[in-house]
Structure 1
Amino acid sequence: MIHNKIERIHSDSAITCKLCMQEMETLYEHLAMSREEIDLLDVPKRSFTVHFPVRMDSGKVKMFIGHRVQYNDARGPTKGGIRYHPELTVEYLQDLAFLMSIKCALVDIPFGGAKGGIVANTKELSRGELERVTRAYIREIADYIGPFKDIPAPDVYTDGQIMIWILDEFEKIRREHTPSIVTGKPVELGGSHVRKYSTSLGGVFILEEALKKLEIDKSELCVAVQGFGKVGSNAARILYEKGFTICAVSDSAGGIFNEDGLNITEVIDHKTRTGSVIDFPESQNITNEQILALDCGILIPAALSNQIKRENVNDVRAKVILELANAPITMEASRMLIDRDVLLIPDILANAGGVVVSYFEWIQNLSQDYWEEEKVLERLREKMKTAFEKVYTICLEQNCSMRRAALQFSVERILYAERLRGNL
């Protein structure tokens, strides 16, 4: 049940689950949902565990455990990542699959939610062992996945190369070309343009729509980005190219600040050479804590969870916060910020661009009609803009947070599909 879900905390994604599940409990009461509706949403449609042997480089055979959860398919085939982690459990994957169901409904793509993976530490596996483990896992679950059943994608400790091994093994089993079995592939083998930075770009599109609603010109505010990994650096780069002033960025080693703005192209080059953004010329070194307290106007937490909490929330001076990281703000801090009229754009909306472009990849694979980058960009912008409009409207009409509005909108869409199917 939902109450049990709250206790499972394994990572940043798990903390996102906790925040959403806490909000879901009050949402169920707000919507006066029936027992049947709650029961339907509260458990996955299908979850299973497989055990399989793999011969290691040493010549010995080792048993591995794999899981897959297909939470809800009322709106279409399930969709979700495959992650490799030594502490992976099927209960935890159920939480993540639920969130994928919510996210797909939120951005109105015809998928349900799924999640899966293997109990393994990739740092202890050679490349050959990693490939054999991946292929063995797919042989075990091949009957339960497919372009119109369940479509995997990359997740924690998996990437485009692993997706290609999945594709190749599935095609060997089915004896047919099936590029739509998996998304997150390299462009050369059926992947989509924009996929590598789609999470960041989707967030930028959402931010632009938010500024329009607030009638704020981008020249009036500067941007601070906490976290300069793949998502954060791409967000900073895209915003810089669009003419935003990026006054501060940070990575795990620390941050840099220049009130007149940073040249993000040069910052990226500097980090590539030195391994960190710190000591960038014509900037002041700051800490990750200090970047959260800057009078920057727009704050983008794109690093770890729980960065803004009760202890430091009063130091935050941003007018708009875009959650590109998973759960960077605690529930208590979120409520305090909203009470101060800060526009807080939740992670389930802000970082949904990745699954949207995964959907585009699936469409292109099925039709064998591959789109130019401009078409992907335009359709992503349209999807993110529409989702923001729906959520923002509910937020205003019901005087609630954007997180609550996003969850309500998604739940109502899923339940409507279940009613049409006669399941309610």
Structure 2
Amino acid sequence: MSALSYVSADNNSPWKTYLSQVERVLPYLGEVSRWADTLRHPKRALIVDIPLEMDDGSVRHFEGYRVQHNLSRGPGKGGVRYHPDVTLEEVMALSAWMTVKCAALNLPFGGAKGGIRVDPRELSLKELERLTRRYTSEIGTIIGPQQDIPAPDVGTNPQVMAWMMDTWSMNTGATSTGVVTGKPVHLGGSLGRVKATGRGVFVTGRVMALRIGLPLENCRIAIQGFGNVGSVAAGLFAEAGSLITAVQDHSATLYHPDGIDIPALTEWQRQNGSISGFKGATAVNHDAFWGYDYDILIPAALEGQITAERAGKLRCRLVLEGANGPTLPVADDILRERNITVVPDVICNAGGVTVSYFEWVQDFSSFFWSEDEINIRLDHIMEQALLAVWQKSQTLKVTLRTAAYAVACERILIARKERGIYP
């Protein structure tokens, strides 16, 4: 059965959102649009059953996925998500966004993504290890340093990547650090990787704020999601003199008009696992988050958060998409009409995959860079990519998202055209 058979009828589903974004860019692709159907079909989708012996002796089964959307420009690249709401359709969309993201940054990768439908918080450490090792063995035939390189995503971390690397290495008979990225540093991981995505949000935000004449000093910022991406971005903007006036996660929404103490909130979250109960701000209703006055909004949680209704209520000048697919297409139109600039996910949150590329390169050469070198290279690549997209948007008179897709899809389809079809 084709992976496309699993697509839901919901027009706001992640895959439908991605397809809508592709449709919008087709008029700007010229002669390579002949190959555009390539973008609508994942190259390979694997569904695996993962039996797991629990600590109490019972056996449970979990469903896992690995999707390779497009490999025309290089091996697949994309994270592995452990979350109770993971579906094949979501993983397909995330893999497609990775294809576009890698091409927009001009990284030599295609797009891939993986996931298991599980709540990792309900598993012991040993159960999580057994789950990871079985999943890695099941998808092992399609991953590899030159085939498809997984990385951390929601619900996974460097320890999970270490288990994946070890399992694949044991099954192939030789240690291969380059099979995954986002590993612990002493196992071939890269300095700067943990903070890379949040840093990328800050770098692209700084560049775009300058373009639209928005000073970062005393700039009011709201952040949805306070994990690795949101917390790091919050810290960097606060250091630049911005006021983080609202923060929301799954547990609470906090508001302080004079700015929340981000180091204190980060420490509270580290100790308590969420921002709930933090005394340095007022806890407000979740829906209130979308109604305050901000200069910048950073959605850094899950996809589909900016709906048409929320887009109509937003009072900000700039949206920085720290999450993948946080803005629905209909909301995109409303934001454009309201002159709210959106830095799209495929550029804004690409810091993680960029430093993953650095890690992959370092593993092949067994020569590692300092964190300062990592950050300098990251900042340069992201700034240049965003400026190229900005220039394209000015030339075509389109949004940054459509411009990013125009740049990326042209690169993908030229590669498809030049490689041809075999046999």
| TM-score, reference length from structure 2 | 0.87
| CA displacement at 1:326 relative to structure 2 | 3.4
Equivalent pair of 2:14/2:304 in contact (CA under 8 Å): no
Aligned to 2:207: 209
Closer, same or farther in 2 for the Cα pair 1:130/1:270, shift >3 Å? closer
Q: Distance in 2 between matches of 1:8 and 1:383?
A: 38
Cα separation, 1, equivalents of 2:227 and 2:351: 17
Q: Hey, what does 2:402 align to over in structure 1?
A: 404
Separation in 2, partners of 1:3, 1:142: 23
Q: Deviations for 1:280-304, whole angstroms, at most 9, x for unmatched residues?
A: 34x5554443343333222222235
Say yes or no: does 1:75 pair with 2:73: yes
Please tell me the residue identity of whatever aligns with 1:169. Answer: T
Q: How far apart are 1:79 and its partner, in Å?
A: 1.1
Structure 1 counterpart of 2:254: 255
Shift of 1:370: 1.2
Cα gap change, 1:9 to 1:371, in 2 (>3 Å):
farther
The residue that corresponds to 1:182 in the other structure is 180
1:131 maps to a residue whose letter is E
Q: 2:44 aligns to what?
A: 46
SS, match of residue 218 in structure 1: coil
Task: State which of 382, 392, 395 in structure 1 corresponds to 2:393.
Answer: 395
Q: Quick check: 1:361 aligned with 2:359?
A: yes
TM-score normalised according to structure 1 size: 0.87
Deviates more, 1:335-344 or 1:45-54: 45-54
Superposition map of 1:83-94 within 5 A:
83-85=81-83, 88-94=86-92
How far apart are the structure 1 equivalents of 2:3 and 2:159? 35
Return 73-82 or 83-92, whichever deviates more: 83-92
CA offsets 1:338-383 (integer angstroms, 9 cap, x no match): 1122111122221111111111111111111111110111111011
Q: Is the 8 A contact 2:217 2:240 kept in 1?
A: no
Looking at structure 2, the residues matched to 51 and 224 of structure 1 have their Cα atoms a distance apart, in angstroms, of: 40
Question: Any stretches of 5+ residues in structure 2 without a counterpart?
Answer: none
User: Which one is further off, 241-250 or 407-416?
Assistant: 241-250
The Cα offsets for residues 273-328 of structure 1, whole Å up to 9 and x where unpaired, read as: 665366634x5554443343333222222235444433343432211111213333
1:336 aligns with 2:326: no
Q: Which amino acid aligns with 2:160?
A: I
Distance 1:347 1:17, change over 3 A: farther
Deviation at 1:22, TM superposition (A): 1.1
Question: In structure 2, what residue type is equivalent to 1:325?
Answer: A
Compute the displacement of 1:27 (Å): 2.4
Match of 1:7 in 2: 8
The answer to whether 1:316 aligns with 2:329 is no
Q: Is the 8 A contact 1:17 1:95 kept in 2?
A: yes
The letter of the residue matching 2:142 is Y
**TM superposition shift of 1:126:** 3.7
Structure-2 change in CA distance of 1:28 and 1:294 (3 Å): same
Equivalent positions of 1:128-139 (< 5 A) are: 128-139=126-137
* Identity fraction in percent: 38
CA contact (8 A) 1:152 1:181 kept: yes
The residue matched to 1:219 in structure 2 has which SS?
coil
After alignment, is 50-59 or 163-172 more displaced? 50-59
CA-to-aligned-CA distance 1:149-197 (integer Å, 9 cap, x gap): 1111123332221211111122222222211111111112111112112
Quote the offset at 1:26 in angstroms.
Answer: 3.1
Amino acid at match of 1:93: V
Q: C-alpha distance in 2, partners of 1:15/1:302?
A: 18
Match of 1:297 in 2: 295
